[in-house]
Structure 1
Amino acid sequence: MFTPLAKLPYRHVLTLPTDPSAVRIARETAELTLNAWGIGLRHPTVDPALLILSELVTNSIRHAAALSPQVTVIYGASRDRLVVAVHDAHPYQPPLEKPIDDNDGGGLATIKELVLDLGGTALVRPDTPAGGKGIWITLPL
């Protein structure tokens, strides 16, 4: 189920250049933001969420930078839910069900499997009118 951002009491948006340093900055910002919201870094959902976030930002840098000079990371939370979304301006919407390929480490398929194992949801949404897409991850807390 997709959780609209407006329904979450905690929200933070971060826009970064599609540069390798964006992965570290997005992850560190997530840690600081979650901590400020009272979600401890030892919560069992946090490590998988940070791994997923890192992978999504890395994918935007590797695959979308030519058409997307920036990547936007959205963090949101409620008492029982954590949402992470990564938006870029590249129009390609990758399927989350892509088979795991030994050459690329499985990327989005691995993310989806991890999300499902945690009882969460993952979806790719077109980002109109910008023409890009956002990959939204929702995890239970």
Structure 2
Amino acid sequence: MLWDLPQESWTVEPVPQSAGIARRRALRAARLWCPLPLTEPYEDRIMLVISELVTNAVRHAGDAGPITVSLWLTPRGNFAVVVSDGSSQPPVWRKPGADEESGRGLALVAKSSIAWEWRRRSGGGKSVHATLPLPGSLTVAERAKATAAAARRTVPGLPVARPRQLFQLPIQGVA
């Protein structure tokens, strides 16, 4: 059941040390919730994304109030992260110059995540969400492949299961 999935949430002050606190707590949660051992690449990815999201909230939300970090395990076994702050200013995707020391955070989050997005909160502020894979989690492509393989298996006496086509994409050159 969805409500039985592990989750954790806490608040940090908008100070530079908050990124380190959030990294340690997130890594501890991921190690606890992941059914398989977390290897270094997974740990590095979690620490990078948490660091970037919390650092961005500290740097750009500043005095807009505390920062909330929420974590949970998704039904597919992925690790979801949401960092919320009091600023309604959207995250800005920048293309920094080669000599600039900052400005690559969202690109790193996008590269390290299965998906990421941001949303304005109804009570003010914003939330930035990222979903990260964990060992044993299924990507969308892997889940589709497993579903197709299951549909090809037959049980004597039962009709062959066929995957449903949920939508049709137009193919150019075909009437």
For 1:122 and 1:63, how far apart are their aligned partners in 2?
Answer: 18
Higher strand share: 1
Identify the residue that residue 81 of structure 1 maps to in structure 2.
78
Identify the residue that residue 138 of structure 1 maps to in structure 2.
131
Task: Give the number of aligned pairs.
Answer: 128
Choose from 102, 121, 127 the match for 2:115: 121
Percent identical residues: 30
For 2:31 and 2:94, how far apart are their aligned partners in 1?
Answer: 35
Q: Which runs of 5+ in 2 are unaligned?
A: 135-175
Identify the residue that residue 3 of structure 1 maps to in structure 2.
none
With the length of structure 1 as denominator, give the TM-score of the two structures. Answer: 0.80
- Which has the larger Rg? 2
2:119 is paired with a residue of what secondary structure? strand
What is the CA deviation profile of residues 95-114 of structure 1, one whole-angstrom value per residue up to 9, with x for unaligned ones?
Answer: 4xx24213224121232133
In structure 2, give the amino acid aligned to 1:23: A
In structure 1, give the amino acid aligned to 2:128: I
With the length of structure 2 as denominator, give the TM-score of the two structures. Answer: 0.65
Larger RCO (alpha carbons 8 Å, 6+ apart): 1
Q: CA deviation at 1:10?
A: 1.1
Choose from 47, 51, 70 the match for 1:50: 47
Q: Which runs of 5+ in 1 are unaligned?
A: 1-5
Q: CA deviation at 1:36?
A: 2.1
Choose from 19, 29, 43 the match for 2:25: 29
What is the CA deviation profile of residues 44-84 of structure 1, one whole-angstrom value per residue up to 9, with x for unaligned ones?
Answer: 4332121111111011111111223x110011114521101
RMSD between superposed Cα atoms in Å: 2.0
